[in-house]
Amino acid sequence: MSNGSDDRMAQAGPGTAGLNRSALTSTPKIRMRGVRKAFGPKRVLDGVDLDVAAGQGVVILGGSGSGKSVTIKCILGLITPDEGVIEIDGVDVLRLPRREREALGDRIGMLFQNGALFDSLPVWENVCFKLLAQNRITRAKARDRAVEVLAQVGLAETVGDLSPAELSGGMQKRVALARAIAAQPDIIFFDEPTTGLDPIMGAVIDGLIVDCVKRLGATAVSITHDMASARRIGETAAMIHKGRIVWTGPAGNLGHSGNAMVDQFANGEREGPIQMELRR
Amino acid sequence: MAAILLDPLAAIGRATLGACRAVGDVALFALEGVSHLVRPPFYGRLFWRAFLEVAWFSLPVVALTAVFTGMVLALQSYTGFARFNAQSAIASVVVISLVRELGPVLAALMVAGRIGASFAAEIGTMRVTDQIDALTTLSTNPMKYLVAPRLLAATLALPLLVLVADVLGVMGGWLIGTLKLGFVSAAYLKSTFDFLQTGDVISGLVKAAAFGFIIALMGTWCGYRSKGGAQGVGGATTAAVVASSILILALDYVLTEIFFAQ
């Protein structure tokens, strides 16, 4: 860990200590240091430092365009950062050979914002896609497994034969959650899991996420700007602003964290240190 | 003043650099796609699905094109050759034109419109709806899953389609020759087979395989690189059809030079 990174973490806020302590006592499940990424002249990540302890549920908060999605896409290997270190279980994933990197993906699940279900496949094949694609299971067994996982997210067996296009938004999210957990990953990422859902369905999805993560004993990293969802699914929250983590702390403290940026964001206040860039 | 003079040059420079980048990107994309054909895992179901889509579902449009082309060719040849009392050459002209050139090129252009557009639209939609990223997170290489089976399927399916197109095109010529132009059926067919050589058929099939590869390559590449939502997917689809059509015609010239130039 660079000194610069330590300084930034120490300045961040009251919740940072918890994360640093876990980082010192054991190898974090996920460790990011000085991660930078620019698209042309636009710098999206400007030195992201983040530790996520094993089994922890971390919520990354931030406004639109603050770099939340790019952060998790960098961890997932969907985007290659320009600089920095990303470690999973102490292994620098950016320097892993491609085959080992792909093997690492076997331990990771991801729920995309819009579900990203494969519309050419029925629901049950979507759910067990990873197991089928790697020939880890026969099609008959995959179907049974899909029914089992669909039940875990509250969906009936008959849903398995439907096409994703035939499902409502809430059902698509549940199928996407089922797909993310079907291969029993030990790290799961959730990208805006409640976006586009009504508040009740949002709460249902959050409940399912918490249950599934607990059942698997997985490490969960979520990104959201839905405060109610953040409090429900996160134990720890990290606030990203202008490509940097500016605060980390308990998710329960959101809204009264003592950090002006976090409190403004959590309470949805117009006035404060975060100024929206509006063209007049 | 200097800016007015330099702006067009800068635009030409940008376009040239963009074209060079695109050519390099297509070449690397093709190499990667082909490399996945020889490295497991293999997705047999996806290959057969793509093969069926290219070979079976394109058959009606290719068959109709071939039959009418053969018929028109016989009529046009008759109109021209009658001036020189060379009507007896019509059967050979029809078969040679079809097997060497028109069969492969017209079948490929039809398939480019149908399959190239379909590949680009499907993969482009997957790109803009995060389905390709989802493949990666599900430990599945998108190039292996989406591109390699389509490259192989189109490369193998086009020669079969062209073989059918050759037969149907000759049949179209024979129909016009015997029913309208007064040729004796046996004489027309004898003339057809006397002039046809194995090399003509093989050169047509090799062209077809190359065109099939180009169609799948441009369709998957344009789709894979698409961005910007529905408009981006529409643009990718158009680009796939235009690029593959032009490349088919250009490659046809190159292959004809290789096979037949003295």
Distances (CA, A) of A243 to A6, A69, B10, B27: 17, 11, 34, 35
A176: nearest CA partner in chain B: B134
Q: A180: nearest CA in chain B?
A: B138
CB atoms under 10 Å from CB of A200, counted, come to 9
CATH number at A101 reads: 3.40.50.300
Retrieve residue A61's tokens: 């908060």
Q: Please, what is the Cα angle at A234 between A229 and A239, to 5 degrees?
A: 90
> Is the model more confident about B98 or about B80?
B98
Cβ within 8 Å, pair A114-B140: no
Check whether A25 has a pLDDT greater than 90. no
Interchain proximity B139–A114, CB inside 8 Å: no
* Per-residue three-class SS string for chain B: CHHHHHHHHHHHHHHHHHHHHHHHHHHHHHHHHHHCCCCCCCCHHHHHHHHHHHHHCCHHHHHHHHHHHHHHHHHHHHHHHHHHCCHHHHHHHHHHHHHHHHHHHHHHHHHHHHHHHHHHHHHHHHHHCCHHHHHHHCCCCHHHHHHHHHHHHHHHHHHHHHHHHHHHHHHHHHHHHHHCCCCCHHHHHHHHHHHCCHHHHHHHHHHHHHHHHHHHHHHHHHHHCCCCHHHHHHHHHHHHHHHHHHHHHHHHHHHHHHHHCC
- Which chain A residue has its CA at the smallest distance from B44's CA? A133
Distance of alpha carbon A21 from alpha carbon A15, whole angstroms = 10
Residue A249 near residue A236, CB atoms below 8 Å: yes
- Give the confidence band of B211 by pLDDT, cuts at 50, 70, 90: very high
Domain ranges of chain B: 36-260
Facing residue for A105 by CB, picked from B41, B43, B137: B137
- Is residue A101 included in any domain, yes or no? yes
The answer, yes or no, to whether residue A198 has pLDDT greater than 50, is yes
pTM value surpassing 0.90: no
Q: What's the gap between Cα B42 and its chain centre?
A: 25
CB A242 within 8 A of CB A265: no
CB pairs under 8 A between A and B: 55
**pLDDT, mean of residues A189-204:** 87
Q: Which chain B positions have a beta carbon within 8 Å of A120's beta carbon?
A: 122
Residues of chain B contacting A73 with CB distance shorter than 8 Å: 133
In this prediction, residue A280 carries a pLDDT of 54
- What distance in Å separates the CA atoms of residue B245 and residue B237, rounded to the nearest whole number? 12
Q: What confidence score (pLDDT) does residue A16 get? A: 40
- DSSP state, residue A119: T
Q: Is the residue at A239 inside a domain?
A: yes
Q: Would you place residue A266 in the very low, low, confident or very high pLDDT band (cuts 50, 70, 90)?
A: confident
Which tens digits make up the pLDDT trace of B34-74?
A: 999 998 888 899 999 999 999 999 999 999 999 999 999 99
Tally of structural domains, chain A: 1
Find the domain containing A40 and state its range. 3-112+185-267
Average pLDDT, chain B: 93
Mean pLDDT of A34-51: 93
List the single residue in A with minimal CA-CA distance to B140.
Answer: A133
Contact B41 A135 (CB under 8 A): yes
Our CA-based measurement puts residue A100 at a distance from the nearest CA of chain B, in whole angstroms, of 11
In this structure, are residues A113 and B130 in contact, taking their beta carbons and an 8 Å threshold? yes
How much is the ipTM here? 0.83
Inside any domain, residue A139 = no
For position A208, what pLDDT does the model report?
86
Structure tokens, B40 = 């497991």
Both tokens of A70, joined, read: 């790019």
What pLDDT sits at residue A278? Answer: 60
Mutate to test the interface with A, among B45, B123, B129, B138 (most CBs of A within 10 A): B138
Q: Distance (Å, rounded) from C-alpha A211 to C-alpha A90?
A: 27
Interchain pair B131, A108: CB under 8 A: no
The closest alpha carbon to B221, from B26, B28, B18, belongs to B26
